[in-house]
Chains A and B, each alone.
Chain A
Amino acid sequence: MSDEKKTTPAGKFLGGCFLFFFGLPFAGFGGFAFYQGILQAVGRNTVQMTGHPAVFIGVGGLFLLIGLGIAWAGLFGHRYAGLKRPRASKFDDDWKTSKQFPKDRSKRAPRGGRLLRTQTSPLAKFVTLLLVALFWNGISWAVFYQTLSSMGWSWLGLIPLAFTSLFCLIGLLLAGLAVHALFRCLMVGETTMEIDRVPVRPGDRVRLTLRQKGDFEITSLTVRLVCRETVRWQVGTDTHTATEDVLGEVLHETKDARASGPAALTTCEASIPADAMHSFKASHNEIGWGVEVKMDLPGRPDIEEFFEFPVIPEMPR
């Protein structure tokens, strides 16, 4: 039985080679752009270039650093692979750092209960997407502009243009997702779920209150108590995730509701089964308890939120 996954020497060598040769084109492209940018800035450029030298120096320098970093990791990364955990024994001291229970992320509600947090807030999602879209589009469109302005009008010249266009399309998609997230923030107010107490143990009965900011029609509303298994596994460099709802009890279902600011949209009670499993969190396997809320909204982005709460490993008293 092995306590941690081992990589064979051949695997380490191939991985190192892959990283090294993956990093070289980045470094080469970045170094060339950086060098030409500097030459252009001092008026001694050898290649005719259009565009501001600062763009070449900035983008080229960034790519140069990233490429050198990847190539360096390919050459020397294996030396540092085991340094974090020197092992004096079969198991070392890993039992001292138990992190197999998810943190309680709820906060105190104004009316005395606890406000549950969503896995990702709409604002955080928007900000993340915006930053990614800005970064991606900034680089993609700068390269696209340079390619367009320096290309020769021949079939061969269209190849780099088509290549950079793909990156620009991905950038537009990211921008679209960011705009959708912005609409979610602006057109649909915050959704909050209040629970009467935390922590919860198997066998407990809890009272849940759903509130929706804003004033608009809701075509359908579903509130479910969910126990969800999440597993992750690695295939090559890809991480795959699968989820399974081992419990999905509908607590509330209605057609034609209306969001109306601070008033409760619905209040319902949920029972955690006495023989249920507690919350659990490890690197690749999780068991999470929460309340899933789905709302179909006419003319606005639909709402689908998961409010997680911890179920502690204690039997009912």
Chain B
Amino acid sequence: MNQPELSVRIELDGTRREFAPGDRLGGRVSVSAPSEWEADYVDVALVWQTEGRGDEDRKAVQVEKLLEKGATAQPRFEGRFSFRIPSMPWTYDGVRMKIRWVVGVYAKPKGEGEAVSEVRVAVHPSYRDRSMPSEPPPP
């Protein structure tokens, strides 16, 4: 199968970009291509990563696999996701290091490069939205 170039997009529900541990973060992703294509993977992930002088540490704390390896995708593929924000680490802006959170879609057709779209979010207990009931933070 001829693998086309992908166009990926991620959108969060609402305008909120700051979340507290235990909050729900939801949204949708869309992956567009000129024709059908075979996937290596299409993942949506909630990721924290460090920035600064030290080597990068990075962890995907929650992942939703939208397409498994070998699956055939239609030219326009859409999917929804929902994550629960974990208790830690909080977004941090230090002197030698920073901790950032991103939610992103990572799509890779077989034999081709990865297409990525990410949205930066912030995680801290002080961002708790009092108007919305939130789940208790995970242990």
Chain A residues in contact with chain B, CB under 8 A?
A: 1, 3, 88-91, 94-95, 98, 100-101, 229, 231-234, 242-244, 246, 275, 277-278, 280, 282-285, 287, 313-315
CB neighbours of B36 from chain A (8 A): none
- Are the CB atoms of B125 and A315 closer together than 8 Å? yes
In the bound assembly, the distance between CA atoms of A282 and B48 in angstroms comes to: 11
- Are the CB atoms of A315 and B69 closer together than 8 Å? no
- Are the CB atoms of B41 and A90 closer together than 8 Å? yes
Given A1-B104, A90-B43, A234-B55, 13 other A-B residues pairs in contact with their CB atoms under 8 A = A88-B69, A90-B41, A100-B59, A100-B88, A231-B54, A242-B96, A275-B126, A280-B92, A280-B99, A282-B57, A284-B50, A284-B55, A315-B125
CB neighbours of A98 from chain B (8 A): 59, 61, 86
Of B21, B89, B96, B108, which one neighbours A244 at CB under 8 angstroms?
A: B96
- Are the CB atoms of A95 and B126 closer together than 8 Å? no
Chain A residue nearest to B50 (CB atoms) is A285
Q: Which 5 A-B pairs have the closest CB atoms?
A: A231-B54, A282-B57, A91-B60, A313-B88, A284-B55
- Are the CB atoms of A91 and B126 closer together than 8 Å? no
In the bound assembly, the distance between CA atoms of A89 and B56 in angstroms comes to: 20
In the bound assembly, the distance between CA atoms of A287 and B106 in angstroms comes to: 30
Contacts A95-B59, A232-B55 given; does A313 touch B65 at CB 8 Å: no
Contacts A233-B53, A277-B94, A313-B21 given; does A101 touch B88 at CB 8 Å: yes
CB neighbours of B118 from chain A (8 A): 1
CB neighbours of B60 from chain A (8 A): 3, 90-91, 94-95
Of A275, A283, A287, which one neighbours B94 at CB under 8 angstroms?
A: A287
In the bound assembly, the distance between CA atoms of A54 and B89 in angstroms comes to: 56
Interface: B90 (CB within 8 A):
yes
- Are the CB atoms of B89 and A246 closer together than 8 Å? no
In the complex, how many angstroms separate the beta carbon of A256 from the nearest chain B beta carbon? 35
CB neighbours of B45 from chain A (8 A): 90-91
Interface string of B46-72 (1 = CB under 8 A from A): 000010111111111111010011000
- Are the CB atoms of B89 and A280 closer together than 8 Å? yes
- Are the CB atoms of A285 and B97 closer together than 8 Å? yes
In the bound assembly, the distance between CA atoms of A44 and B49 in angstroms comes to: 64
Chain A residue nearest to B92 (CB atoms) is A277
In the bound assembly, the distance between CA atoms of A246 and B95 in angstroms comes to: 7
Name which of B62, B89, B108, B116 has the most chain A CB atoms within 10 A of its CB. Answer: B89
- Are the CB atoms of A284 and B63 closer together than 8 Å? no
- Supply 14 A–B pairs (Cβ within 8 Å), ascending by A: A1-B104, A1-B118, A89-B41, A89-B65, A90-B45, A91-B43, A231-B97, A244-B94, A275-B126, A280-B99, A284-B57, A285-B99, A313-B21, A313-B88
- Are the CB atoms of B52 and A285 closer together than 8 Å? yes
Name which of A89, A100, A246 has the most chain B CB atoms within 10 A of its CB. Answer: A89
Interface: B87 (CB within 8 A):
yes
- Are the CB atoms of B106 and A1 closer together than 8 Å? yes
Name which of B21, B53, B61, B90 has the most chain A CB atoms within 10 A of its CB. Answer: B53
- Are the CB atoms of B59 and A229 closer together than 8 Å? no
CB neighbours of B104 from chain A (8 A): 1
In the complex, how many angstroms separate the beta carbon of A135 from the nearest chain B beta carbon? 30
Contacts A91-B45, A91-B63, A313-B90 given; does A233 touch B96 at CB 8 Å: no
Interface string of B116-130 (1 = CB under 8 A from A): 101000000110000
In the bound assembly, the distance between CA atoms of A147 and B126 in angstroms comes to: 69
- Are the CB atoms of A244 and B95 closer together than 8 Å? yes
CB neighbours of A100 from chain B (8 A): 59, 88-89
- Are the CB atoms of B96 and A284 closer together than 8 Å? no
In the complex, how many angstroms separate the beta carbon of A255 from the nearest chain B beta carbon? 31
In the complex, how many angstroms separate the beta carbon of A92 from the nearest chain B beta carbon? 9
Of B55, B61, B63, B92, which one neighbours A89 at CB under 8 angstroms?
A: B63
Chain A residue nearest to B88 (CB atoms) is A313
In the complex, how many angstroms separate the beta carbon of B105 from the nearest chain A beta carbon? 10
CB neighbours of B69 from chain A (8 A): 88-89
CB neighbours of B53 from chain A (8 A): 231, 233, 242
